[in-house]
Amino acid sequence: MAADLNWAIGGEAGDGIDSTGKIFAQALARAGRHVFTSKDFASRIRGGYTAYKIRTSVDDVQSVVDRLDILVALTQRTIDENLDEMHEGSAVIYDGERSWEAEIPEEITAVDVPLKSLAEEAGGAIMRNVVALGAACEITGFDVAYLDEALEKRFGGKGSKIVENNKEAARLGQEYVAEEYDLSHLGYEMETTDADYVLLNGDEAIGMGAIAAGCKFYAGYPITPATAVMEYLTGRIEQFGGHVVQAEDELSAINMALGAARAGARSMTATSGPGIDLMTETFGLIATSETPLVIVDVMRSGPSTGMPTKQEQGDLNMLLYGGHGEIPRFVLAPTTIDECFWKTIEAFNLAETYQTPVYLVGDLAMAVTEQTFPPEAFDMDAVEIDRGKLVDDEEVDEWVDEKGRFRAHANTDDGISPRAIPGTVDGAHMSTGLEHDELGRRTEDTDVRVEQVDKRNRKVETAIEREDWEYREFGDPDADDLVISWGSNEGALVEALDRLEDDGVSVRVLSVPYIFPRPDLTEEIEAANDVIVVECNATGQFANLIEHDALTRVKRINKYTGVRFKADELAAQIQERLAEEVPAQ
Amino acid sequence: MSSDVRFTDFKSDKQPTWCPGCGDFGTMNGMMKALANTGNDPDNTFVVAGIGCSGKIGTYMHSYALHGVHGRALPVGTGVKMARPDIEVMVAGGDGDGYSIGAGHFVHAVRRNVDMSYVVMDNRIYGLTKGQASPTSRSDFETSTTPDGSQQPPVNPLALALASGATFIAQSFASDALRHTEIVEAAIEHDGFGFVNVFSPCVTFNDVDTYDYFRDTLIDLDEEGHDPTDADAAKEVILDADKEYQGIIYQDENSVPYHELHGVTGDMSEVPEGAPEGAMDLVREFY
């Protein structure tokens, strides 16, 4: 039997699919198993097909695959949607007492469990999903004690009665399968380890990174798939002296965040593409007034309302070029969930060091995916804070003109000016989106205009020289062919390497977490035979940048179905592209 | 904060480019005097302004200030106050900035009751773009964009504030320096959102809502014996379509400002050199 197990629960939105999946994922993590989850959901509150999938192994797992072993099907559609991924060793847990007729192909083991009746016996029909979890434990040989722990964590706050009822529901499910079926021929083995893993998704990692970085103020407006950042911070940031405001719209959110930043707080907002559209006007003001601010864009499928609950990496051009005039900025795109944490901290440091807005780019696939990590992956002792040229009462004196006025936009060699926050004595000054002189006063003087534009752009030049805009590397460093990726595709790509190796294909993979500035890949590209750029969009926005930088043509793998890449499909597509003619130079 | 602050300390050395005779001169002078009279200091004051003639105020005043984008001054002021409850926040805007493009933010800033003052320089016209109808222009007012009158009834900003749950509503006149200053002072001292609509005549483009018009028609609520704590009396004044008033129209004496209600009382500008103490608990939560 395969070392890793792929499990899923599917039904209608409102059936508790998500929380049931999460409980099982937590139980597996508690058993020292790695977990990688994915979600399939529609943009509606109730009804419509929704599924929560878990891939679990004692080894690290970073992607979803085209195989499903155990399926909890609450609706017929759940079976229909997943048939192509099921195989001879697959089992389907379903409730034969339900009105729908389960049509399950013969080669797949049908496990009929009276989920509803057993749940009622345990104390309420609402627990039918937990009965199914108990059944799944029995089929896979997974110790139900871990499930008990996860149930305690989930329902502990609701009282011991609820916890006990849920444990009973799980036990009834387990016992029913043990008594009614002999499933030893399926041969599932759920090995456990002593490892302690934490289980979290990308949005949570961003929120946790913000608190670690000393962010105290967050303003946002709910939008899929960025809302979880705000939900994470609400109730937690207060414990660290911060506050979250749910603003009336994205325009307000970014302007509140701007106000807090000018008042000296580390400040952040998060949204998705449509919200970035609305925030773009203020984005120019933030850059021109030289305010440090972190703006998170958790991308979803666009344009317009697009497919709000589906994956895409289509906002790159907007983040790089959005806004009228020319706006200096940084664009960071973490490639894994743990990097969402570290890059958020880096985003705050860059914002304050260079007094610029920083876009932090996530995407739906990473935002809703939960993955296990050793807790050391989020080592708080390793967090470093750099507030840049923040001046105090004494230091202000070095930056005033002959009339004692603070030069908030002083023209310096590195382009970075001193920053005084309210309360700093003799630091009072105005900032504006108008072109201004060193004092922040409006000007149309041609020389001052050029001086200030150059000054602001020089900050980026300074950063390009000073900071390390590295990439992450995987695969065979000596391989002839190069695959370049950005954002959440990294995990699937890393796993694809194993499959390629099985077929005797070796490639070198570069995963790029910086969009602007970005590492110079010219040498790597020139040394390579084939270069393939992988991304979830139709027009190859990152591939275009690579071609521009290296003055060469690259091959492309683009997916814009709304579904993230899977390791096996990527492996197949890479082989296909490698077999194609090299594009004309 | 020093005790010997004079209102001129809030003045910058930049000469205003407002038209000679513009109501904004008087409005601004009153704001500076009110800030000084209430014991504030330029280094502990933050002034936010949007776009339009009113937006220029940050340039002519001296304090920490942000001149932002059109209509969004209130959210900026909200962010400043949340991060720094110790800082005096004053937001300035025009009738276009506040009641047209920023109308949504106005409603929400009012209902949040953030402890700041909001002074709207209402001249009932778009001045800086040279004379188009504003949301407070009379419906028969003829302008370059409304040659036959706008045919749209004006917004009643006081009613909008009342309906949004305002805890302080006042109206003043730029030319009545003493009363205007006194009213802005009360707005600053109010525990919550202090809203003052100021009649600030545009001498270039508005020949209807002039100094003479307001001098002749304004009724002072103090002289009427109006009780601002009486919500019903306030409602009557606000919904009176036939008369123009100045004075404090409504004040909720039990107002609790947002930051106190939500316990946001600390200085958020402090950041430790590493992750804050106890941050590892955040990781353990995911175990």
- Mean pLDDT, to the nearest integer, of B12-31? 95
Partner-chain residue, chosen from A265, A285, A426, that has the shortest CB–CB distance to B69: A285
| Cβ–Cβ < 8 Å for B116, B194 | yes
Partner-chain residue, chosen from A30, A266, A433, that has the shortest CB–CB distance to B68: A433
Q: Annotate B161-199 with DSSP letters as a single string.
A: HHHTT-SEEEEEETT-HHHHHHHHHHHHHSSS-EEEEEE
| Cβ–Cβ < 8 Å for B130, B83 | no
Task: Enumerate residues 240 to 269 of chain B having a beta carbon within 8 A of any beta carbon in chain A.
Answer: 262-264, 266, 268-269
Task: Enumerate residues 104 to 133 of chain B having a beta carbon within 8 A of any beta carbon in chain A.
Answer: 104-105, 107-108
Instruction: Please give chain A's pLDDT, 585 residues, in tens.
Output: 457 999 999 999 888 999 999 999 999 999 999 999 998 887 777 778 999 999 999 999 999 888 999 999 999 999 999 999 999 999 999 999 886 666 888 899 999 999 999 999 999 999 999 999 999 999 999 999 999 999 999 999 999 999 999 999 999 999 999 999 999 889 998 999 999 999 999 999 999 999 999 999 999 999 999 999 999 999 999 999 999 999 999 999 999 999 999 999 999 999 999 999 999 999 999 999 999 999 999 999 999 999 999 999 999 999 999 999 999 999 999 999 999 999 999 999 999 999 999 999 999 999 999 999 999 999 999 999 999 999 999 999 999 999 999 999 999 999 999 999 999 999 999 999 999 999 999 999 999 999 999 999 999 999 999 999 999 999 999 999 999 999 999 999 999 999 999 999 999 999 999 999 999 999 999 999 999 999 999 999 999 999 999 999 999 999 999 999 999 999 999 999 999 986 655
Phi, then psi, of A520 in degrees rounded to 5: -80, 115
Which candidate in B35, B282, B285 is best for mutational testing of the A interface (most A CBs within 10 A)? B282
pLDDT at B204: 95
Summarised one tens digit per residue, pLDDT across range B90-108 is 999 999 999 999 999 999 9
Which residue of chain A is at minimal alpha-carbon distance from B268? A265
For residue A208, the chain B residues in CB contact (below 8 A) are 282-283
Residue A89's H or E segment, with its range, is strand A86-94
Summarised one tens digit per residue, pLDDT across range B119-168 is 999 999 999 999 999 999 999 999 999 999 988 999 999 999 999 999 99
For residue A442, the chain B residues in CB contact (below 8 A) are 59
Q: Is B14 on the interface with A (CB under 8 A)?
A: yes
Cα A146 to Cα A31, A170, A179, B217: the distances in Å are: 6, 11, 21, 78
Determine whether the interchain pair B67/A432 forms a contact, defined as Cβ–Cβ distance below 8 Å: yes
Three-state secondary structure readout of A405-455: CECCCCCCCCCCCCECCCCCCCCCCEEECCCECCCCCECCCHHHHHHHHHH
Tell me the two tokens of residue A337: 């969930």
Cis peptide leading into residue A513 (ω within 30°)? no
For residue B272, the chain A residues in CB contact (below 8 A) are 214, 385
CA of B56, closest CA in chain A: separation in Å? 10
Determine whether the interchain pair A198/B283 forms a contact, defined as Cβ–Cβ distance below 8 Å: yes
pLDDT at B1: 45
Q: Tell me the longest C-alpha to C-alpha distance in chain B.
A: 72
Q: Residues of chain B with pLDDT > 90: what percent?
A: 97
Partner-chain residue, chosen from B14, B69, B269, that has the shortest CB–CB distance to A263: B269
- Mean pLDDT, to the nearest integer, of B43-65? 95
Partner-chain residue, chosen from B13, B84, B275, that has the shortest CB–CB distance to A383: B275
Which residue bears the tokens 């002083």? A410
CA of B173, closest CA in chain A: separation in Å? 27
Partner-chain residue, chosen from B44, B78, B278, that has the shortest CB–CB distance to A422: B44
For residue B64, the chain A residues in CB contact (below 8 A) are 262, 421-422, 427-430
For chain B, give the mean pLDDT: 96
Partner-chain residue, chosen from B83, B107, B284, that has the shortest CB–CB distance to A260: B83
Helix and strand tally (H, E) in chain B? 11, 8
CA distance A135 to A112: 10
CA distance A323 to A320: 9
For residue A426, the chain B residues in CB contact (below 8 A) are 43
Q: Which of A377, A574, A344 is nearest to A476 (CA)?
A: A574
CA distance B248 to B170: 4
CA distance B157 to B154: 9
Determine whether the interchain pair A243/B82 forms a contact, defined as Cβ–Cβ distance below 8 Å: yes
Q: Which amino acid is at B191?
A: D
Determine whether the interchain pair B58/A253 forms a contact, defined as Cβ–Cβ distance below 8 Å: no
Task: Enumerate residues 177 to 206 of chain B having a beta carbon within 8 A of any beta carbon in chain A.
Answer: none
Task: Enumerate residues 59 to 88 of chain B having a beta carbon within 8 A of any beta carbon in chain A.
Answer: 59, 62-69, 71-72, 75-84, 86-87
CA of B106, closest CA in chain A: separation in Å? 10
CA of B79, closest CA in chain A: separation in Å? 4
For residue B263, the chain A residues in CB contact (below 8 A) are 238
Partner-chain residue, chosen from B84, B266, B271, that has the shortest CB–CB distance to A385: B271
* pLDDT score of B45 more than 60: yes
The pTM of this model reads: 0.97
pLDDT at A1: 41
Taking residue A444's Cβ as centre, other Cβ atoms within 10 Å add up to: 8
For residue A251, the chain B residues in CB contact (below 8 A) are 71-72, 75, 105
Determine whether the interchain pair A380/B284 forms a contact, defined as Cβ–Cβ distance below 8 Å: no
Tell me the two tokens of residue A520: 């110079």
CA distance A363 to A486: 11
CA distance A348 to A357: 9
For residue A431, the chain B residues in CB contact (below 8 A) are 65-67
CB pairs < 8 Å spanning A and B: 215
Q: Which residues pair with A92 in a beta bridge?
A: A71, A110
Which residue of chain A is at minimal alpha-carbon distance from B282? A208
| Cβ–Cβ < 8 Å for B75, B112 | no
Q: How many CA within 13 A on the CB side of residue B4?
A: 0
Determine whether the interchain pair B79/A421 forms a contact, defined as Cβ–Cβ distance below 8 Å: no
Q: What is the ipTM of this complex?
A: 0.98
pLDDT at A101: 62
Partner-chain residue, chosen from B45, B62, B79, that has the shortest CB–CB distance to A217: B79
